[in-house]
Amino acid sequence: MAACGQNVKQAKIKAAARPAPKPGILASVKFSGDTSKNGMVFIKGGTYLMGGDNALAAEDELPKHAVEVSSFWMDTHEVTNAQFRRFVEATGYVTTAERKPDWEQLKHELPPDTPKPPDSLLVPSSLVFTPPDHPVDLHDYSQWWRWVKGANWKHPNGSGSDIKGKDNYPVIQVSWDDAVAYCKWAGKRLPTEAEWEYAARGGLTNQPYPWGTEGISLGKPKANSWDGHFPDKNTHRDGYAGLAPVGKYAPNGYGLYDMAGNVWEWCADWYRNDYYKCLAQSGKAKNPRGPANSYDPEEPYAPNKITRGGSFMCNESYCSGFRVSRRMKSTYDSAMSNLGFRCVVTGGSGLRHDFSPY
Determine, yes or no, domain membership for 62. yes
Residue 338 resides in a domain: yes
CATH number for the domain that contains residue 57 = 3.90.1580.10
The yes-or-no verdict on residue 27 having pLDDT over 90 is no
**Alpha carbons within 13 A on the beta-carbon side of 33:** 2
Please tell me the pTM assigned to this model.
0.90
Question: Could you list the residue range(s) of the whole structural domain that residue 259 is in?
Answer: 40-95+170-346
Q: What residue type is 253 in one-letter code?
A: G
- How confident is the model at residue 22, as a pLDDT? 47
Please state the domain count of the chain: 1
Query: In this predicted structure, which of 1-15, 57-71, 79-93, 202-216 has the lowest mean pLDDT?
Result: 1-15
121 burial class (0-12, 13-18, 19+ CB within 10 angstroms)?
A: exposed
Is 18 inside a domain boundary? no
Q: Per mean pLDDT, which range of 103-107, 143-147, 184-188 is the poorest?
A: 103-107
Give the contacts of 43 (CB within 8 A, at least 6 positions apart): 71, 72, 73, 74, 198, 199, 254, 347
Q: Is the pLDDT score of 183 beyond 80?
A: yes
Residue 106 in any domain: the answer is no
Q: How confident is the model at residue 15 (pLDDT cuts 50, 70, 90)?
A: very low
106 confidence band (pLDDT: 50, 70, 90):
confident
Q: Which pLDDT does position 357 carry in this prediction?
A: 46
Spatial distance between the Cα atoms of 330 and 127, rounded to a whole number of angstroms = 12
User: Does residue 5 sit within a domain?
Assistant: no
Residue range 82-93: average pLDDT? 97
In this prediction, residues 43-53 reach a mean pLDDT of: 96
Using DSSP's 3-state secondary structure scheme, residue 337 falls into coil
Q: Which CA distances in Å does 97 have to 93, 136, 162?
A: 12, 28, 15
Question: Which pLDDT value is given to residue 26?
Answer: 64
283 or 60, greater pLDDT? 60
Query: Mean pLDDT, to the nearest integer, of 323-335?
Result: 96
Confidence of residue 112 (pLDDT cuts 50, 70, 90): confident
Q: Which residue has the higher pLDDT, 12 or 63?
A: 63
For residue 128, pLDDT beyond 90: yes
* 171: confidence class by pLDDT, cuts 50, 70, 90: very high
Q: Is the pLDDT of residue 28 over 70?
A: yes
More confidently predicted of 351 and 190: 190
**Residue 106, H or E segment:** helix 103-106
Residue 17 inside a domain? The answer is no
Question: What is the average pLDDT across 256-264?
Answer: 98
Q: Which of 280, 347, 247 has its CA nearest to residue 41?
A: 347
The reply to whether 309 falls in a domain is: yes
DSSP string for 168-217: TSBP-S--HHHHHHHHHHHT-BPPPHHHHHHHHHTT-SS-SBTTBSS-TT
- Strand-pair category, 72-75 with 40-43: antiparallel
Mean pLDDT of the chain: 89
Sheet harboring 339-340: ordered strands across? 327-331, 304-308, 264-270, 339-340
Residue 116 lies in a domain: no
More confident of the two residues 304 and 22: 304
Phi, psi dihedrals of residue 279, rounded to the nearest 5° = -65, -40
How long is the chain? 358
Q: How confident is the model at residue 348 (pLDDT cuts 50, 70, 90)?
A: low
